[in-house]
Structure 1
């Protein structure tokens, strides 16, 4: 499988920073996709996580058959990831974004997924997992099901006698 994706330098930098800040010991790498309105309000749409559940024993001598099998399974996992990303909210909103209404942003971090930002109603999907000699790679996504945006700003305080002399 050949994948040609134009790399974005900012994403590479953020990913390397997140990886250097403690990835390991089964700490997942997370990507949070959020919407930001022109008023500055934000709403988290999705949180993707990829983690490695470490195995106790590592066999550095993988057979050629095992490498081929892993390559195929990782390819299927990648295809599944792309397919699922097209049917959950952020992709649909990314196609509708504009400078006049809202924009889609991301945040990359190492640690447990912060699902509390998705609101009370969210769903979690396990995209897949692939067992390897070093452990099992797991990819999951949690996404918002309620798309109601509530303002986080305090209400404007008006003085009732402002225009009186």
Structure 2
């Protein structure tokens, strides 16, 4: 397992915070200080919010796993085979999430690339010249179209590879 690096630059569809998509759950287990069985405790947002360390949540019926770090705010999503397929970073992560020095806390309007809002999830994806999503990364910032609120602050970034799911 790579080691946490709160300054590591994000790589679209590959890595975030020093961790690489495709890593195996087993390499993270020594760092877990609390486990929750989803068959006994249904998932609620409070599990992550109230976490003060490194929490492993086993999704019901062994359909995957999530690991939550409290500081910095990180979330790892593993498929049911235990392969890391999504990395989410929020407060406390200080690495560049897009070229040009864009970080958590930057304005969404400062991203020097076309963006498209997915209003079903209120997230901003990079867009190609036809305004189609470029997969591998998206940003959480306010939930409005860029033109409506270019000053929205990036609160979270997600690097993913859905082919691993």
With normalisation by structure 1, the TM-score equals 0.26
- Structure possessing the higher radius of gyration over alpha carbons: 1
With normalisation by structure 2, the TM-score equals 0.26
Higher RCO (Cα < 8 Å, 6 or more apart): 1
The structure whose residues are more often helix, as a share, is: 1
